[in-house]
């Protein structure tokens, strides 16, 4: 496992990518970096979503986007394989290393916003998951569904001001309910606890054009609101 930072040296947003099988998100973000500056921090592993490591002869598996809280790290290890305190410490160390590469102090002083990029498979996870009757309904405070775009392509945000900023466009927007959201160890839960504004740009696998357009839309809306402050 490697954590790689793509630095353009041009002021812009910081993007984070954790699931190594979500290649559309990386391609879309690298294209965005070339045009709009900023930086991308990504986890490179085996090309698979989950990370694997060995302690002695025991192999452990975890979802990197469940590593950011103690409860999440324990749950993902137990769900995907054997659990031990040492394995838990290793998962939490991964999370700390990832956050260090993202550079939280600079983020807080600069744009004050962490952008993550993900891809999903059709029908499994979408803005609809947060709407009435959806699997994650209780994790969302507000959902703005749209007719003109697929629900798989959506913004997931932790702050009402970003919900307001993005909801007028063509994309579905979900505002996390920061008080009620399940502590699953995901970066959005961690960011809400830390008070670090967070926007996930989530698109279906293969929706490269759509994800590029969403990243452009996010940058344009932030610029229009004078919130980009990339320096
Ligand atoms: Zn993902």
Give the integer Cα–Cα distance in Å for 171 and 51.
31
Say if strands 154-157 and 198-204 run parallel, antiparallel, or are unpaired: antiparallel
Residue 115 within a domain: yes
Q: Give, in order, the Cα–Cα distances in Å from 209 to each of 64, 139, 156, 166.
A: 26, 28, 19, 18
Q: pLDDT class for 227, splitting at 50, 70, 90? A: low
What is the whole-number distance in angstroms between the Cα of residue 120 and the centre of ligand 1?
Answer: 7
Choose among 148, 160, 143: nearest CA to 213: 148
The per-residue pLDDT for 24 is 98
The pLDDT tens digits of the residues spanning 168-198 come to 999 999 999 999 999 999 999 999 999 999 9
Calculate how far, in angstroms, residue 229's C-alpha sits from the geometric centre of ligand 1.
27
Q: Flag whether 77 is in a domain.
A: no
pLDDT at res. 64: 98
Residue 85 lies in a domain: no
Which residue in the block uniquely carries the two structure tokens 């190594």? 20
Distance 225 CA to ligand 1 centre (A): 28
Distance from C-alpha of 154 to C-alpha of 200, rounded to nearest angstrom: 8
Rounded to a whole number of angstroms, the CA Rg of the chain reads 17
109: domain range? 2-42+103-224
How many structural domains are present in the chain? 1
Give the Å distance between the CA of 30 and the centre of ligand 1: 16
Residue 55: inside a domain: no
Which residues keep their CB under 5 angstroms from ion ligand 1? 19, 22, 118
Q: 115 C-alpha vs ligand 1 centroid, how far in Å?
A: 13
Span 134-172, pLDDT tens digits: 889 888 988 888 878 889 999 999 999 999 999 999 999
Average pLDDT over residues 193-204: 96
CA angle 158, 163, 166 (to 5 degrees): 130
pTM: 0.93
Paired residues of 185 in beta bridges: none
């Amino acid at each position: 496992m490697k954590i790689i930072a793509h630095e353009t040296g041009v002021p812009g947003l910081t993007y984070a990518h954790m699931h190594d099988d979500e290649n559309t998100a990386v391609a879309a973000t690298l294209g965005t970096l070339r045009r709009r500056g900023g930086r991308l921090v990504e986890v490179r592993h085996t090309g698979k979503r989950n990370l694997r490591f060995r302690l002695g002869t025991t192999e452990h598996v975890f979802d990197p986007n469940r590593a950011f809280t103690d409860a999440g790290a324990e749950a993902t290890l137990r769900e995907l394989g054997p659990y031990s305190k040492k394995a838990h410490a290793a998962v939490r160390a991964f999370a700390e290393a990832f956050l260090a590469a993202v550079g939280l102090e600079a983020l807080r002083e600069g744009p004050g916003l962490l952008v993550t990029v993900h891809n999903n498979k059709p029908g499994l996870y979408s803005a609809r998951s947060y709407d009435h009757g959806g699997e994650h309904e209780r994790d969302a405070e507000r959902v703005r569904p749209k007719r003109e775009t697929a629900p798989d392509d959506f913004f997931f945000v932790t702050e009402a001001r970003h919900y307001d900023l993005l909801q007028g466009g063509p994309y579905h927007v979900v505002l996390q309910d920061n008080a009620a959201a399940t502590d699953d160890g995901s970066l959005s839960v961690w960011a809400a606890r830390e008070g670090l504004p967070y926007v996930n740009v989530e698109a279906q696998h293969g929706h490269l054009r759509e994800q590029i357009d969403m990243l452009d839309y996010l940058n344009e809306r932030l610029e229009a609101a004078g919130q980009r402050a990339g320096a």
